[in-house]
């Protein structure tokens, strides 16, 4: 495809005076990491890629499934049929509508060990995750480096978001010293409306753009929550860091230190993730070995193996997601039996 002229491609956004030609150049030069590319992450990535953010790093540990298609706007039925890692599928889809920006996909789980590699060297981190463990890790990393990040979450019909400017506004740990009750249910247990996702992504994306075009005075300094079903709306001030905050006041980055962090974790409904070993996997070799034990198939990015009632998904770095159990001991023994101990 012939390359579209920059000014023409972004003309409708450049016409918006607070962005203008200058702001568009800032967007083109900007580097953003998006952690989690499910519903919220895909909506954020789609909006920012179309808006012309020049570099997007997309980090996601999961693969596309049919139940994602109701709300995860970057994926198609063919991605689910191939069980493509979400980061890879997202990068491919973005390339089809904006080939002029750089997208760097990482099919990986963000951990304290790889946080520097996956979150370093960007201007802004966006939250597309579905769990507080990862959000606290992002918060610790961002606060320790003085990098801005935007918290965004949606469950059922409820959306909540907050822009964190370390040293200037409250951080996640200022507002929630412990994981909040009431929004700890997940999409897997409470369902989710795609409109709640798009609502929170629209707000968070606009905050991101304001930040990147240097319109810091326009940033929202509140924790905003909105229920698209009941129309309930609340805002809590996040204008100042909380004195005594573990992260931004005491610089006690427990989540980044990763103390006591398990290498085997529950991951969505009825599944367990194992990432205790970093070992490259030869898909051809293991596929050959597993064939007598049950159906197995793989592509370049992911290998799937079925042993009723379990489904094992293996990534090239040795990480696995085992579906069909929440018992970590069973998952561990299946991994040892089929992949190796």
Antiparallel, parallel or unpaired: β 271-274 and 264-266: antiparallel
For the bound state, the minimum distance from the C-beta of residue 144 to Zn ion, rounded and expressed in Å, comes to 11
What's the rounded Cα separation, in Å, for the pair 29 and 211? 13
Smaller CB distance to Zn ion: residue 108 or 147? Answer: 147
110, two tokens: 């963000």
Contacts from 290-294 at CB under 8 Å and sequence distance 24+? 290/338, 293/338
For the bound state, the minimum distance from the C-beta of residue 160 to Zn ion, rounded and expressed in Å, comes to 17
For the bound state, the minimum distance from the C-beta of residue 244 to Zn ion, rounded and expressed in Å, comes to 9
For the bound state, the minimum distance from the C-beta of residue 228 to Zn ion, rounded and expressed in Å, comes to 28
Residues 6+ apart with CB under 8 A from 211: 123, 124, 148, 163, 219
For the bound state, the minimum distance from the C-beta of residue 253 to Zn ion, rounded and expressed in Å, comes to 11
Smaller CB distance to Zn ion: residue 177 or 262? Answer: 177
DSSP readout, 238-306?
-SSPPTT-TTTTT---HHHHTTT--SEEE-STTEEEE-S------HHHHHHHHGGGS-EEE-SS-EEEE
Q: Nearest CA to 93 among 52, 46, 48, 57?
A: 46
3-class DSSP assignment, residue 227 = strand
Smaller CB distance to Zn ion: residue 54 or 241? Answer: 241
Q: Nearest CA to 18 among 227, 243, 222, 218?
A: 218
For the bound state, the minimum distance from the C-beta of residue 173 to Zn ion, rounded and expressed in Å, comes to 5
Smaller CB distance to Zn ion: residue 176 or 338? Answer: 176
Smaller CB distance to Zn ion: residue 52 or 166? Answer: 166
Number of Cβ within 10 Å of residue 66's Cβ equals: 11
For the bound state, the minimum distance from the C-beta of residue 250 to Zn ion, rounded and expressed in Å, comes to 9
For the bound state, the minimum distance from the C-beta of residue 216 to Zn ion, rounded and expressed in Å, comes to 19
Smaller CB distance to Zn ion: residue 144 or 206? Answer: 144
Q: Are 309 and 91 in contact (CB under 8 A)?
A: no
Residues 6+ apart with CB under 8 A from 59: 33, 34, 35, 36, 37, 87, 106, 108, 110, 118
Q: How far is CA 139 from the centre of its chain?
A: 13
Smaller CB distance to Zn ion: residue 238 or 273? Answer: 238
Tokens 């980055």, residue located: 253
Smaller CB distance to Zn ion: residue 63 or 149? Answer: 149
Residues that bind Zn ion (CB under 5 A): 171, 173-174, 245, 247-248
Cis peptide before 293 (omega within 30 of 0): no
């Amino acid at each position: 495809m012939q390359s579209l002229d920059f000014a023409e491609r972004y003309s409708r956004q450049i016409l918006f005076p607070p962005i203008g030609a200058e702001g568009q150049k800032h967007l083109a030069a900007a580097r953003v990491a998006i952690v989690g590319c499910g519903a919220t992450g895909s909506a954020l990535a789609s909006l920012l890629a179309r808006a012309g953010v020049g570099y997007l790093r997309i980090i996601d540990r999961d693969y596309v499934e049919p139940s994602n298609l109701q709300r995860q706007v970057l994926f198609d039925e063919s991605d689910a049929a191939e069980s493509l890692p979400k980061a890879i599928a997202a990068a491919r889809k973005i390339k089809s509508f904006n080939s002029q920006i750089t997208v760097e996909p990482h099919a990986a789980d963000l951990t304290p060990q790889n946080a520097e590699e996956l979150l370093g060297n960007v201007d802004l981190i966006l939250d597309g995750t579905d769990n507080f463990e990862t959000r606290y890790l992002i918060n610790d990393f961002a606060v320790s480096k003085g990098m801005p990040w935007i918290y965004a979450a949606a469950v059922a019909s409820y959306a909540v978001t907050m822009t964190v400017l370390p040293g200037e506004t409250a951080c996640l740990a200022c507002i929630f010293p412990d994981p909040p009750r009431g929004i700890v249910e997940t999409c897997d247990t409470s369902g989710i409306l795609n409109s709640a996702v798009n609502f929170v992504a629209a707000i968070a994306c606009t905050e991101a753009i304001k930040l990147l075009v240097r319109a810091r005075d326009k940033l929202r300094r509140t924790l905003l929550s909105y229920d698209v079903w009941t129309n309930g709306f609340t805002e809590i001030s996040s204008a100042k860091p909380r004195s005594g905050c573990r992260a931004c006041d005491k610089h006690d980055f427990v989540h980044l230190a990763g103390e006591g962090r398990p290498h085997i974790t529950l991951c969505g409904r009825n599944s367990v993730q194992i990432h205790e070993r970093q070992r490259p996997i030869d898909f051809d070799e293991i596929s050959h070995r597993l064939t007598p034990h049950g159906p197995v198939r793989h592509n370049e990015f992911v290998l799937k193996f079925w042993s009723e009632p379990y489904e094992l998904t293996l990534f090239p770095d040795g990480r696995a997601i085992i579906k069909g159990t929440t018992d970590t001991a069973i998952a561990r023994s299946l991994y040892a039996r089929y992949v190796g101990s």
